[in-house]
Amino acid sequence: MNNTTMPWYVRWVIGTGAWVTAVVLIALGAAFVFALLDIQNRAALAVFGAVLYGYGLWLLWHGASGIFAQQLGIATAAAGAAMIAGGLAAELQSLWAGFAVAILVGAGIVAATQDRILQFLAAALAAGFFVTALIESRMPYAIDFVALATPLGLALLLYPPRRDFMPTAAVLMLTFPVSSLFAMENGFSMRTAAQGGTFARVLHIALFVGLVFLHLRRSNAARTNLRALVFAAIAVIVCLLLPAGGSAAMLILMLSFVIGSKPYALLGSALQAQFIARYYYSLEMNLLDKSLLLMAVGVVLTGAWWLLQRGKFGEAAA
């Protein structure tokens, strides 16, 4: 029985076993290095991580046969990458150094293997170091700097290079909205001048409008174009009312419509629902104004669904 004919639940059990095995091996190895050998140097964590990183890439580079070996390679390489970046960041006492190292180990992963899961984890590691470094260093306009990840991810999705960077593009698209959710969860939903946010909102609205015009260029139906323009105008107004993360979620929804991606549509809808719920309770407004705002956002989302359905019916009739 090969990997393609194996039932999904068997693959799931084998994959889970590989990750559990990797965790146990990493824990035992770390205990041996730091407890038995009594090594206190933080750089030793990076050295131990480099061993795991190399072993994981070796498994994937040689085309490890079987789900267990493949998942074991992913788990050990991902853990090794995190240990290398974390160990050097702790040794140098600089999260920015950890961010730079995370980019380097991520580049090594992209060069050595085409595994999408491992590339996603490596990109998420670099994004996590980037956001954490901005917060830790109290960088002015930190929100706006995080927003710069969105156009990079959008460019990779709309104009994909020869090598598969779709997992990295997904991380870049999700970096700003996910960071915004964590910020709202910790009581930072109301932006200040030092934190920024205006540029982030304007950037995401501009990208949203750009996607609308990209859709108009690809469509020849005048009626569909008119509906798209009306929807875009209403959506821009709602984006101005919502926090910057809400405009990023609206951008993901529009992206899903342009490229025809159901996963991005689900992600955008889930993120938008989270932003609406959190923003609704954070507003210092009366119940009527909150309800009107919620209704306006609902009209836009319903309009997006209607536009998508009408477009499908129009294509079927043609």
Residue 273 confidence class, pLDDT cut points 50, 70, 90: confident
- Residue with more model confidence, 81 or 286: 81
Q: To the nearest 5 percent, what fractions of the chain are helix, strand and coil?
A: 80, 0, 20
Angle formed by the axes of helices 67-92 and 116-136, to 10°? 20
Would you say residue 96 has pLDDT above 90?
yes
268 vs 131: CA distance, rounded Å: 21
120 burial via Cβ count (<10 Å: 0-12, 13-18, 19+): middle
- Average pLDDT value for residue range 287-309: 67
71 vs 57: CA distance, rounded Å: 11
Q: What is the pLDDT of residue 190?
A: 42
List of residues 6+ apart from 66 with CB closer than 8 A: 3, 14
Q: What is the pLDDT of residue 36?
A: 52
Q: Which tokens in the block code for residue 217? A: 């260029």
- Residue with more model confidence, 259 or 31: 259
Cα→Cα distances 260→98, 142, 169, 215, 256, Å? 36, 32, 16, 11, 5
**CB contact at 8 A, 81 and 49:** yes
**CB contact at 8 A, 170 and 120:** yes
Helix (H, G, I), strand (E, B) or coil at 193: coil
241 vs 297: CA distance, rounded Å: 9
Report the amino acid identity of residue 137: S
86 vs 100: CA distance, rounded Å: 11
Give the number of other Cβ atoms within 10 Å of residue 16's Cβ.
11
Q: What is the pLDDT of residue 8?
A: 54
Tens-digit pLDDT profile for residues 5-26:
556 556 666 667 766 777 777 7
Q: Phi/psi at 73 (nearest 5 deg)? A: -65, -40
DSSP summary character for residue 94: -
Global pTM value: 0.78
Q: What is the pLDDT of residue 69?
A: 78
75 vs 251: CA distance, rounded Å: 32
Q: Which tokens in the block code for residue 253? A: 């929804």
Q: Which tokens in the block code for residue 170? A: 């997904």
Angle formed by the axes of helices 116-136 and 166-185, to 10°? 40
**CB contact at 8 A, 250 and 276:** no
Would you say residue 127 has pLDDT above 70?
yes
If we measure between CA atoms, which residue out of 82, 85, 77 comes closest to residue 60?
77
Going from N- to C-terminal start, the domains of the chain cover 1-137, 143-318
Q: Which tokens in the block code for residue 96? A: 């920015």
| Number of residues that this document lists for the chain | 318
